[in-house]
Amino acid sequence: MEEIKINDTFSTKINFKDYESKELTLNGMIQNLRNLAWGGFLILRTPDYHIQTVYDRNSINVDPDELRVESAVKITGTVKAAKIKDKSIFPQDFEVQVTKIEVLSTPSVNPLPLDTTKKELNAGLDTKFDLRPLTLRHPKQQAVFKIAAVIYNEFGNFLAENGFTRICSPKMVSSGAEGGANIFDLEYFGRKAYLAQSPQFYKQMMVGAFGRVYETAPVFRAEKHDTSRHLNEYVSLDFEMMLENGFIDIIQVESGMLRHVLAKLAEKCSKEIALLDIELPVLNKIVMIPFQEVHEIIFEKYKKDFRGEKDLAPEEENLIGQYAKEKYNTDFVFVTHYPSAKRPFYTMDDPNHPDQTLSFDLIFRGVEITTGGQRLHKYEDYLSKMEKMNLNPQDFKGYLQAFQFGMPAHGGLGFGLERFTALICGLANVKEASLFPRDINRLDP
């Protein structure tokens, strides 16, 4: 039997200043390699860095011409101050002068099917997705998902710091939260089950237990669309909460969360922001426009007539985003009071305007990123709404228990991680903000 002491730290962060003029050993992958007559440059990819290393051809233990990109290596050398302009390299003020290279493994494919050493990944979408394990190694591809990771983490951090309890709801369910045909069905021990379209029912139930809850998890939509805005599996960032002042409480919490997330992106992703040459938005005011007023604004200002529509078309979202930017100097606009006919049965109608709901969408840079609102909280109101919508309460009996047992006024929202990431990063297609996108044509890798 052997007893081993538990390490005190597991961080891969390095204070290069502390190692200046000292020897350092690094493990990583060869991101890029440039051999010259005298020696060359090797960019080493580690969990936290893309480190420039420099070697003298006559002073290292391996033939640099035998080295290959995407080999795993252990490099030993001396840390020296440097001034590096390439934005894909980090740190830019230190490099390593190599004395020894140990090759741990090399790719079995030669040459690699795609060159990831260029500043831009020159490949079409299908190629990017077909070769995802390789293309995700490109610095700009990595930057997108470093940004997505901070959004994901800080969404939860903000809510946890403000009294929300994280929940993990089932992804195999007996009925759909959104209804309709856009739901994947599966065989479940001799009975029909479905992949969850949303954690909606469960997060509502848990408001009765915890008051404020959130979840960060995948959801599934069996919609046969193939657009730049949609995925069939995406990560939904959800929260649900007790309300004191109606659905404005939800808008306030989302605005606070977004301000927190954007501040953390500026703090933690400065190199990714610089590499992608993106500008973070500023959220310093809440702008709300009722749904019907949006129709009138678009008609009067842009001469586009959507006044008979029960939802916002993508063109209308884009135009109201443009309007908010011009009039209020904001990238964010909350469109409120959507028609009851276009919202799910659990959405509360406006008591003063029964054909409207106490709900909203958040439009960011002309694209909807959030749907939210106040929910019904009385059992009798559910029965009444279900009858109007020809829904059978028996199909939702597990969900409706919560309201029989008593529930507070509450509401919440769902927030699409990939769509928000794509808009932050200036990507033309939301699929590029998904590690392994799923749409009607793709189930692999």
Residue 254: its pLDDT value, please?
A: 98
- Is 80 exceeded by the pLDDT of residue 114? yes
- Evaluate the omega torsion of the peptide bond into residue 133 and state whether it is cis, within 30 degrees of 0: no
- Is 70 exceeded by the pLDDT of residue 30? yes
Give percent of the chain above pLDDT 70.
99
| pLDDT, tens digit (0-9, with 9 covering 90-100), for 163-217 | 999 999 999 998 776 656 689 999 999 999 999 999 999 999 999 999 999 999 9
pTM of the model: 0.96
What does the alpha-carbon distance between residue 167 and residue 163 come to, in Å, rounded to a whole number? 13
Residue 391: its pLDDT value, please?
A: 93
Instruction: Describe the chain by its helix, strand, coil percentages, rounded to 5.
Output: 30, 30, 40
Residue 178: its pLDDT value, please?
A: 61
Q: What confidence category does residue 338 fall into, taking pLDDT thresholds of 50, 70 and 90?
A: very high
- Is 90 exceeded by the pLDDT of residue 227? no
Residue 175: its pLDDT value, please?
A: 78
- Is 90 exceeded by the pLDDT of residue 403? yes
Residue 181: its pLDDT value, please?
A: 65
Is 369 within 8 Å of 419 (Cβ atoms)?
yes
Q: What mean pLDDT comes out for the span 7-18? A: 94
Is 91 within 8 Å of 49 (Cβ atoms)?
yes
What does the alpha-carbon distance between residue 373 and residue 371 come to, in Å, rounded to a whole number? 7
Is 288 within 8 Å of 360 (Cβ atoms)?
yes
What does the alpha-carbon distance between residue 167 and residue 173 come to, in Å, rounded to a whole number? 16
For CA atoms 170, 175, 180, 182, give the dihedral sign.
positive
| CATH classification (class only), 16-105 | mainly beta
Name the strands in the sheet holding 185-188, side by side, starting at the edge strand that comes first in the sequence.
Answer: 172-173, 191-195, 185-188
Q: What mean pLDDT comes out for the span 296-306? A: 96
Q: What mean pLDDT comes out for the span 87-91? A: 96
| pLDDT, tens digit (0-9, with 9 covering 90-100), for 51-85 | 999 999 999 999 999 999 999 999 999 999 999 99
Q: What mean pLDDT comes out for the span 384-410? A: 95
- Is 90 exceeded by the pLDDT of residue 370? yes
Q: What confidence category does residue 128 fall into, taking pLDDT thresholds of 50, 70 and 90?
A: very high
- Is 90 exceeded by the pLDDT of residue 280? yes
| Helix, coil or strand: residue 213 | strand
| Residue ranges per structural domain of the chain | 16-105, 139-171+200-433
Strands 185-188 and 191-195: antiparallel
Residue 180: its pLDDT value, please?
A: 60
Residue 224: its pLDDT value, please?
A: 87
Q: Give the number of other CB atoms < 10 A from CB of residue 313.
A: 12
- Alpha carbon distance, N-terminus to C-terminus of the chain: 42
- Evaluate the omega torsion of the peptide bond into residue 354 and state whether it is cis, within 30 degrees of 0: no
Q: What mean pLDDT comes out for the span 416-442? A: 96
What does the alpha-carbon distance between residue 338 and residue 363 come to, in Å, rounded to a whole number? 13
Residue 215: name the closest of 227, 224, 202, 228 by CA: 202
Is 208 within 8 Å of 184 (Cβ atoms)?
no
Average pLDDT, the chain: 96
Tokens 């059978």 locate to 392
| Chain Cα centroid distance, residue 314 | 20
Give percent of the chain above pLDDT 90.
95
- Is 90 exceeded by the pLDDT of residue 246? yes
Tokens 């309007």 locate to 323
What does the alpha-carbon distance between residue 271 and residue 89 come to, in Å, rounded to a whole number? 9
Q: What is the CATH number of domain 139-171+200-433?
A: 3.30.930.10
Residue 263: its pLDDT value, please?
A: 98
Question: 333 Cβ partners below 8 Å, 6+ apart?
Answer: 287, 288, 289, 320, 321, 323, 324, 362, 363
Question: 362 Cβ partners below 8 Å, 6+ apart?
Answer: 254, 332, 333, 334, 335, 368, 369, 370, 372, 413
Is 308 within 8 Å of 265 (Cβ atoms)?
no
| pLDDT, tens digit (0-9, with 9 covering 90-100), for 305-324 | 999 999 999 999 999 999 99
Does an H or E element contain 28, and which?
Answer: strand 23-35
Side-chain-side CA neighbours of residue 196 (13 Å): 18
